[in-house]
């Protein structure tokens, strides 16, 4: 029958990339920027992390490379939507296409479609303990990153500035806050978190890189952030819910007692739950005041 | 103010140029011409006549294993000096296939076009009809089309049956796991052959089958495998990537697919299912050379007895080894497949999530 401890363990692994990336997206959206570059940033984070780990033999250096790439991806978004004032949807999707294309192209140049390259990846902490047997990055996400970003947004001057430029950039500007600099900072920090989420897939979970590595996880995070109403902890909750239902359906589908339920329905289950959660929490939704709007001094 | 505007405009121009360059580099799918090496040409000697031009037209990037198998077989033929080979990949499923094929047929006038028609069936059939002088050979689950469209598929159910015997014979828990992409006929028959092989040596065996609804998501593949391990599976068949990783972490046995995946888990991977398009490519080239090419179903060339599929060399270095009597059984069955005294049953129905114990 269903093994509950295995279920919780699987949920935490599957939720980790979502937690990193959704936290990063909360940060950028609170600054007023919908970063649809998230899917590409996760993808390129996964690839750059894998690449550097493969070349150096160290997953830590791989992670560092992914973080740098995420900062650069965030800066690129900043150039497009903050400095140039390009439409955020177009800039985000363009960034995603660019980063996925560049990753696949580099992958072909270096690895050209032979056997998959296996890297020395992160090991499990407490590998023999159910539930607690997790990768170090999962612990870092839940104990360090999420509380830090929550505290940053809620209790620091920087967090106040981020929220100010996301709600009312005119007022923030009048108060002497640099709207551009604050938004760049949010995008670069958020980008680093998204890339870390992608790198978790290659550096911890599978230890190799294949095409389509992120498989739409970035888009799931976009929905999770709206579900969470731009708050960090509810985003984590949403990620756990999605990953938990996914882990559950993977167990149910191979359990004889549930063989009557069509596979297609099982596969759709986590998405249905997120849609239902969105619908339930979507009423009276208040977007950040300056969402999607480039800021120009009048 | 003017200066800012100028800076903005030049930044836009720069970015545009960069984007164009990137698109040209990645999206362009530059088909590389593989002029065979001079040495190969010289050794061929007699072949002073022009080598036939063969084009590969792939919907996915060639890093995708299925199209990669076709690409490597054609590349090998080019390296031998049999053909001149060009290819285009990552054509996609949004109308690009018809455009690309028409372009190739009208401008390059190749002797043969190889590719995969899955997801582009109508486009391939239309273009083949309009260019009857060109031989089209495409991966497809449908029938051949007169006069010039042949179809093939990865008929690797033979090695799947043998791999099933290995899995059924080495499981301690009598539970096996299989992780596949989609429950489509060409995957189902591989999974069902695997189950058949397992049950032939171990009537008590139960097989858990998961589909991850994508061809590529190794993290998801691993998670599906871990769910099977949680339900006692101790030998896993990795039809998709990620599964070997799950087996490795728990010190369990696994079986790879599409390429010899021993290097991914030397302690875990007992063997892998291999598909070789070489015999199919050679058959088509021979027919074209003889002027006898007609659209046909080429599936037999992928069968084990014709060298189109095989089991990778057994890896006895896996943890716990492989019992000698089981290896003898597998070898005997392989000989029967080769001689034709045994044919693997073909069952394309979607397998149950968990097989009943007979």
Write down the pLDDT at residue A263: 85
User: What's the confidence (pLDDT) of residue B158?
Assistant: 97
Cβ neighbours, 10 Å, residue B329 = 17
pLDDT recorded at residue A127: 87
- By three-state DSSP, how is residue B173 classified? coil
Token look-up 């539970």 returns B175
Which strands sit side by side in the sheet containing B53-57, from one edge to the other?
B84-88, B53-57, B112-116, B135-139, B149-152
Percentage of chain B beyond pLDDT 90 is 78
**Contact state of B356 with A102 under an 8 Å Cβ cutoff:** no
B231 and B333 part of one domain: yes
Sheet holding B269-275, edge to edge: B206-211, B175-180, B235-238, B253-257, B269-275, B309-311
A167: contact with B, CB 8 A cutoff: no
Quote the pLDDT of residue B337: 97
Closest chain A residue by Cα to residue B71: A113
Checking if the pLDDT of B166 tops 50, the result is: yes
Distance between CA B83 and CA A23 in Å, rounded?
54
> Which tokens belong to B20?
């164009």
Which neighbouring-strand residues pair with B151? Answer: B138, B297
CA distance A20 to A150: 13
Measure B244 CA to nearest chain A CA, in Å.
9
> In terms of residue numbers, what domain contains B322?
157-274+309-339
- Angle of the A38-56 helix axis to the A88-111 helix axis, nearest 10: 20
Tokens representing A166? 């996301």
- Whether B74 is in a domain gets the answer yes
Q: Same domain for B47 and B133?
A: yes
Per the domain annotation, does B200 fall within a domain? yes
Q: What is the DSSP string of B245-291?
A: HHHHHTT-EEEEESS--GGG-TTTEEEEEEE--HHHHHHHHHHHHTT
Token readout for A190 is 């958020």
**Which residues of chain A have a pLDDT value below 50?**
none
Alpha carbon distance, N-terminus to C-terminus of chain B = 82
Both ends of chain A: CA-CA distance in Å?
Answer: 65
CATH of the domain at B210: 3.40.50.2300
Question: In this complex, do A212 and B215 lie within 8 Å of one another by their Cβ atoms?
Answer: yes
Mean pLDDT computed over every residue of chain B? 88
Q: Which residue of A206, A260, A270, A298 is the best one to mutate when testing the B interface, meaning the one whose CB has the most B CBs within 10 A?
A: A206
Per-residue model confidence as pLDDT tens digits over B254-303: 999 988 899 899 999 999 999 999 999 999 999 999 999 999 999 999 99
A60 touches chain B (CB under 8 A): no
| Distance between CA atoms of residues A30 and B339, nearest Å | 69
Partner A contacted by B23 (CB < 8 A): yes
CB contact (8 A) between residue A206 and residue B245 = yes
Confidence tier at B39 by pLDDT (50, 70, 90): very low
From B152, B173, B193, give the residue that closes a domain.
Answer: B152
* Interface test mutation site (partner A, options B13, B173, B219, B258, max chain A beta carbons within 10 A): B219
- How far is residue A147's CA from residue B176's CA, in Å, rounded to a whole number? 41
Q: What is the pLDDT of residue B86?
A: 96
Residues B75 and B183 both lie in one domain: no
Residue B3 has pLDDT above 70, yes or no: no
User: Structurally, how many domains does chain B consist of?
Assistant: 2
Task: Check residue A196 and give its pLDDT.
Answer: 98
DSSP output for A144-210: IIHHHHHHHHHHSHHHHHHHHHHH-HHHHHHTT--HHHHHHHHHHHHHHHHHHHHHHIIIIIISS--
> What's the CA angle centered on B351, arms B343 and B121, to 5 degrees?
80
Mean pLDDT of B108-124: 95
Residue A50 is classified by DSSP as: H
Task: Select from B120, B152, B184 the last residue of a domain.
Answer: B152
Over residues B78-96, mean pLDDT: 94
Shared domain for B195 and B327, answered yes or no, is yes
φ and ψ at residue B238, rounded to 5 degrees: -90, 80
The CA distance from A35 to A23, in Å, is 12
Q: Which two tokens stand for residue A111?
A: 């690895």
The answer on B72 and B133 residing in a single domain is yes
Distance set, CA B65 to CA A218, B159, B274 (Å): 25, 17, 11
For tokens 């060109």, the residue is B134
pLDDT of residue A117: 87
Q: What region, left, alpha or beta, does residue A38 occupy, with left being phi > 0 and alpha being psi -120 to 50 degrees?
A: alpha
Give this prediction's pTM: 0.88
Residue B26 — pLDDT band, cuts 50, 70, 90? very low
Q: Note whether residue B162 is domain-resident.
A: yes
- Please say whether the beta carbons of A69 and A45 come within 8 A: yes
How many Cα atoms are found within 13 Å in the side-chain-facing hemisphere of B124? 32
Residue count (chain B): 358
Residues B194 and B144 in one domain: no
> What's residue B47's pLDDT?
43
Q: Among A210, A261, A298, which would you mutate to test the B interface (most chain B Cβ atoms within 10 Å of its Cβ)?
A: A210
The number of C-alpha atoms within 13 Å of B82 and in the hemisphere containing its C-beta is 19
Report helix, strand or coil for B209.
strand
Mean pLDDT, range B227-240, rounded to an integer: 95
CA-angle at B171, arms to B165 and B175, nearest 5°? 100
Higher-scoring residue by pLDDT: B70, B16: B70
- pLDDT (0 to 100) of residue A3: 84
CB-based contacts of A38: which residues, under 8 Å, 6+ apart? A21, A24, A25, A92, A96, A194, A218, A219, A221, A222
> Which pLDDT score is estimated for B34?
42
Same domain, B252 and B163: yes
At B357 the pLDDT is 67
Closest residue in chain A to residue B212, using alpha carbons only: A267
Instruction: For residue A17, list chain B residues with Cβ-Cβ distance below 8 A.
Output: 219
B185 and B313 in one domain? yes
Give me the helices (H) in A31-156, please: 38-56, 59-78, 88-111, 136-139, 146-155
Of A48 and B51, more confident: A48
Could you tell me which chain B residue has the CA closest to the CA of A253?
Answer: B353
User: Is B354's CB within 8 Å of A254's CB?
Assistant: yes
Q: What is the mean pLDDT of residues B36-47?
A: 38
Domain boundary among B152, B185, B202: B152
Residue B18 lies in a domain: no
Same domain, B185 and B147: no
Q: What is the pLDDT of residue B76?
A: 95
What's the gap in Å between the CA of B353 and the closest CA on chain A?
4
Residue contact B12–A84, C-beta within 8 A? yes
B187 and B85 both lie in a single domain: no
Joined together, the tokens standing for residue A250 give 């993977």
Confidence of residue B18 (pLDDT cuts 50, 70, 90): low
pLDDT score of B10 more than 70: no
Selecting from B8, B15, B231 the residue whose C-beta is nearest the C-beta of A254 gives: B231
Mutation target to probe the A interface, by most A beta carbons within 10 A, among B1, B9, B26, B239 is B26
pLDDT(B344) > 70:
yes
Distances (CA, A) of B320 to A15, B274, B323: 34, 24, 9
Q: Are residues B124 and B180 in the same domain?
A: no
Distance from CA of B224 to the nearest CA of A (A): 6
Residues within 8 A of A (CB atoms), B 168-197 only: 177, 183
The conformation of residue B354, written as its DSSP 8-state character, comes to B
Residues B147 and B166 in one domain: no
Cross-chain Cβ contact B208/A108 below 8 Å: no
Tokens 């006038």, residue located: B109
What is the residue whose two structure tokens read 């079986």? B255
pLDDT at position B7 is 52
């Amino acid at each position: 029958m269903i093994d509950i401890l295995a279920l919780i363990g699987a949920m935490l692994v599957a939720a980790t990339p979502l937690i990193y990336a959704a936290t990063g997206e909360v940060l950028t959206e609170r600054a007023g920027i919908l970063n649809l570059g998230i899917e590409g940033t996760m993808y390129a984070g996964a690839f750059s992390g894998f690449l550097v780990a493969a070349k150096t033999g160290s997953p830590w250096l791989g992670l560092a490379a992914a973080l740098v790439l995420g900062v650069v991806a965030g800066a690129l978004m900043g150039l497009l939507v903050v400095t140039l004032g390009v439409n955020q949807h177009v800039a985000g999707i363009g960034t995603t296409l660019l980063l996925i294309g560049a990753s696949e192209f580099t992958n072909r140049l270096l690895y050209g479609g032979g056997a998959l390259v296996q890297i020395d990846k992160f090991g499990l902490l407490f590998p023999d303990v159910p539930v607690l047997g997790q990768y170090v990055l999962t612990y870092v996400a839940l104990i360090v990153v999420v509380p830090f970003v929550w505290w940053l947004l809620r209790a620091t001057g920087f967090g106040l500035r981020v929220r100010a430029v996301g709600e009312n950039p005119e007022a923030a500007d009048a108060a002497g806050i640099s709207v551009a600099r604050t938004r760049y900072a949010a995008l670069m920090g958020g980008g680093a978190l998204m890339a870390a989420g992608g790198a978790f897939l290659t550096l911890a979970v599978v230890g190799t890189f294949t095409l389509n590595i992120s498989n739409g996880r970035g888009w799931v995070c976009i929905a999770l952030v709206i579900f969470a109403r731009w708050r960090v902890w509810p985003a984590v909750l949403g990620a756990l819910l999605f990953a938990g239902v996914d882990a559950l359906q993977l167990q149910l589908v191979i359990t004889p007692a549930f063989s009557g339920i069509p596979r297609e329905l099982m596969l759709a289950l986590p998405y249905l739950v997120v849609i239902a959660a969105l619908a339930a929490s979507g009423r009276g939704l208040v977007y950040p005041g300056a969402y999607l709007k480039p800021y120009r001094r009048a | 103010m003017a200066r800012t505007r100028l800076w903005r405009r030049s930044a836009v121009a720069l970015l545009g140029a960069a984007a164009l360059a990137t698109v040209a580099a990645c999206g362009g799918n530059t088909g590389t011409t593989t002029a065979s090496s001079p040495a190969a040409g010289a050794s061929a000697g007699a072949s002073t006549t022009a080598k036939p031009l063969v084009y590969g037209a792939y919907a996915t990037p060639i890093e995708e294993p299925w199209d990669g198998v076709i690409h490597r077989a054609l590349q090998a033929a080019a390296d031998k000096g049999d053909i001149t080979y060009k290819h285009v990949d990552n054509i996609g499923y949004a109308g690009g296939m018809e455009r690309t094929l028409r372009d190739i047929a009208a401008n390059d006038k190749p002797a043969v076009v190889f590719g995969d028609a899955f997801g582009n069936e109508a486009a391939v059939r239309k273009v083949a009809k309009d260019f009857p002088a060109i031989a089209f050979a495409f991966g497809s689950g449908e029938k051949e089309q007169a006069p010039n469209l042949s179809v093939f598929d990865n008929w690797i159910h033979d090695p799947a049956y043998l791999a099933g015997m290995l899995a059924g014979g080495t499981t301690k828990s009598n539970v096996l796991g299989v992780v596949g992409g989609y429950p489509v006929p060409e995957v189902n028959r591989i999974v069902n052959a695997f189950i058949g092989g397992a049950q032939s040596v171990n009537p008590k065996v139960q097989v858990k089958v998961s589909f991850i609804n994508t061809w590529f998501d190794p993290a998801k593949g691993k998670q599906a495998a871990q769910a099977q391990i949680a339900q006692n599976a101790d030998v896993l068949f990795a039809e998709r990537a990620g599964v070997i990783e799950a087996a490795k972490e728990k010190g369990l046995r696994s079986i790879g697919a599409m390429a010899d995946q021993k290097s991914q888990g030397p302690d875990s991977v007992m063997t892998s299912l291999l598909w070789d398009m070489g015999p199919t490519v050679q058959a088509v080239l021979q027919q074209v050379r003889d002027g006898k090419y007609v659209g046909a179903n080429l599936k037999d060339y992928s069968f084990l007895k014709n060298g189109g599929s095989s089991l990778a060399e057994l890896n006895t270095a896996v943890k716990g080894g492989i019992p000698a009597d089981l290896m003898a059984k597998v070898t005997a069955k392989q000989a029967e497949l080769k001689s034709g005294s045994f044919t693997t049953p073909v069952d394309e129905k979607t397998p149950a999530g968990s097989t009943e114990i007979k």
